Structure 1
Amino acid sequence: MSKAVILGTGSCLPKRVVTNAELEQMVDTSDEWVTTRTGIKNRHIAGEGELNYQLAAKAARRALAVTGIEPQEIDLIIVATLSPHMIMPSTACFVQAEIGAVNAFAYDINAACAGFTYGLDLASQYIQNRPNMKILLIGSETLSARVNWEDRNTCVLFGDGAGAVILGSSSDDRGVMGSRLHSDGNSWHMLCMDSPESQNPDLRYDDYVGPLIRMNGSEIFKQAVRMMEDAVNTLLREQGVTMDEISILIPHQANIRILKKLRERLGLPEERVFINLSKYGNTSAASIPIALDEAHRQGRLQRGDLVLLCTFGGGLTWGSLLLRW
């Protein structure tokens, strides 16, 4: 059975960098408060010419350039996002037009911060059934358009950006080995974002606050560590792999306290966990592909390495995925 292998990576960050010091001028916060509680120092915020699909397309072009694959060779484009350019058409359709991938079909998925990992599992299923496929998978967000800039508990956390991978089939033992994906719709209220207000008055509800991110941070912390730890350990048991065999863990970049606690529970040394949270903040579905691209370009990913991904997001959605690089 063919496995889906990552052939190339790319990423794109908006030009503007917003520091904690700048946020001090906007809300009641401080660099010390944000750094201590989140580990975030900077975040990139999109500006003119940096719409969601434009960031996604730039990341895609960089991934394509690494592989030498032409846009016309792409069969499928999947964009994981919770901040699409439009509700209809999909951001993936805009990307298709932007890069000239005229032979691809395209659609978005929304699993919040877990979107890229869900998408990687989905792309793997396509390639198992159709080994000749070339798939462009992108995680792309402009969360600055969905943040309440008066809420100091959330506005300090999020950033914009996009990461992309090109997937094809492997001719050896490399590729996606397995995954454990989960959802809990009963806990949706812990991390959520409303749609635009309904134009049907009968479908409106009393506590509507606008299409803004809302989060119960303390509850998310409790759930995220436990759920990711369980997803990782279950997956490794299923694959017959020990933690000692993992070359690198690339987790969703949400909060440094969550990442430290997770690393401790998994028994991994710092040098085997990739963290770039301080530079970009939480970029939701773009978080893991941006980190993948950065780790790849830094030489942290070598052929044959066992790479472990884990993630947690609104929904609630969470999971883990194991691949051989």
Structure 2
Amino acid sequence: MPPVSLVDIASYLPGEPVGTEYFTQYSRSDRMAKNVMFRSPKTRHHVGRDETEVDMVERAVQPLIERHGREFISGIDVLLTHTQLPTNPVLGAGPQVARRLGMKPTHVIDVHNGGCAAFIHMMELARTILRGTAARTALIAVAQNCAGPVFTQSEIRGLAQAPVPGDGCGVGLLVKDNSAPILDIECRTYPEFAGDMDFSTGSDRKYWEPGAGQACVSFSESKITKVFARGNRLVPEVAAVVCDRIGVKGRDIDTFVTNQPNRLFLRNWHDALELPAERHPDTFDQCGNLFAAGIPVTLDAEHRAGRLTDGSVVLMAAFAHAGDFAGAAAVRWGAVR
């Protein structure tokens, strides 16, 4: 099969950092706030009220335009997008992103599943399309945009989980060549866990119906325990499969980048791979839980800081929602500077 490379990465964080003190003034439950799942980051970013996922992707892509040229970006063959909270629930963002960037891709796909592992999921989809068609380039974009709109609502901002999420956007550029090859990808779906994460108004009202109650993503306390156990298992599990197939021990991975629900998950995951913490970077304290954007935002931060060495093995891994999806991908790093 022809090799496919992740040749560049870029990201965007909206607005100024929001301190935790914004939420503490509304805090309702000290007991839940002490739960390891909800220990808050120092800061996070929130999208503006009128900022759409299309705006976020356009801003995230700007460094790619500066490095590769507008003509190259407008000529991309495959466009995949993932949005945590679609601005228009009927329409996908892909065609609008294409119009905004002056693109006319042969494939435009809005990928709604994959959750926090959506970046890896879209790497797999893009690689499959590039290998099976005449297409040579792909842009994948993930927009996490539910922190500001959802978790600052008057009935939600006092909940223990409200300070944890942050907003941001990450994009990746894939090319059918061997310059920075994707070494392996593993994606797994676990239907038995589907539906264990809720998006509800806390009442009988559907989110699109008028009335009292504010929509929010939530887990019951009993489900939190189950999700924590699943997450601890699923991420090292898919990561180990990829390591085994590429012939590298987990402890020998140069850089390990995951989604970042909380600090305890981060610690447990690099401990499971026998990796020192410094080889498992994250942006949790600056950005909070970025959902699907966590991997590309952290990768971009490490890349811009010069901490990713050309030729090194970068392993990405994540699990989604309450554990209904998990994925891992390894890349021989060589992104454009």
TM-score (norm 1): 0.88
Question: Structure 1 residue 193: deviation in Å?
Answer: 2.5
Of 71, 75, 92, 2:77 maps to 75
SS in 1 for 2:268: helix
Aligned to 2:329: 321
The 5 A counterparts of 1:1-325 are 1-28=1-28, 38=39, 40-68=41-69, 70=71, 71-110=73-112, 111-130=114-133, 132-144=135-147, 145-147=149-151, 149-150=156-157, 152-171=159-178, 174-194=180-200, 197=206, 211-215=215-219, 216-314=223-321, 316-325=324-333
Question: Structure 1 residue 267: deviation in Å?
Answer: 0.3
Question: Structure 1 residue 46: deviation in Å?
Answer: 0.8
Aligned amino acid, residue 38 of structure 1: R
Q: 1:235 to 1:43 in 2, by over 3 A?
A: same
Question: Structure 1 residue 142: deviation in Å?
Answer: 0.8
Q: 1:188 to 1:75 in 2, by over 3 A?
A: same
Aligned amino acid, residue 97 of structure 1: R
Question: Structure 1 residue 283: deviation in Å?
Answer: 1.4
Give yes or no for contact 1:176–1:321 (8 Å, CA) kept in 2: yes
Aligned amino acid, residue 10 of structure 1: A
Q: 1:107 to 1:210 in 2, by over 3 A?
A: farther
**CA–CA distance in structure 2, aligned partners of residues 29 and 53 of structure 1:** 36
Give yes or no for contact 2:86–2:93 (8 Å, CA) kept in 1: yes
Identity rate of aligned residues, in percent? 21
**CA–CA distance in structure 2, aligned partners of residues 104 and 87 of structure 1:** 24
Deviation string 1:145-190 (CA, Å, 9 cap, x unpaired) is 3446245232122111101111102235x31111221222222243
Give yes or no for contact 2:317–2:327 (8 Å, CA) kept in 1: yes
Give yes or no for contact 1:2–1:131 (8 Å, CA) kept in 2: no
Q: 1:68 to 1:246 in 2, by over 3 A?
A: farther
**CA–CA distance in structure 2, aligned partners of residues 211 and 217 of structure 1:** 19
Give yes or no for contact 1:91–1:107 (8 Å, CA) kept in 2: no
**CA–CA distance in structure 1, aligned partners of residues 120 and 189 of structure 2:** 13
Deviation string 1:200-234 (CA, Å, 9 cap, x unpaired) is 9xxxxxxx976421124332211101111111112
Q: Number of paired residues?
A: 315
Aligned amino acid, residue 330 of structure 2: L
Aligned amino acid, residue 59 of structure 1: A
Question: Structure 1 residue 197: deviation in Å?
Answer: 2.9
Q: 1:21 to 1:198 in 2, by over 3 A?
A: closer
Aligned amino acid, residue 319 of structure 1: G
Aligned amino acid, residue 196 of structure 2: M
Give yes or no for contact 1:312–1:319 (8 Å, CA) kept in 2: yes
Q: Between 63-72 and 235-244, report the one with greater CA deviation.
A: 63-72
TM-score (norm 2): 0.85
**CA–CA distance in structure 2, aligned partners of residues 292 and 34 of structure 1:** 29
Question: Runs of 5+ in structure 2 lacking a partner?
Answer: none
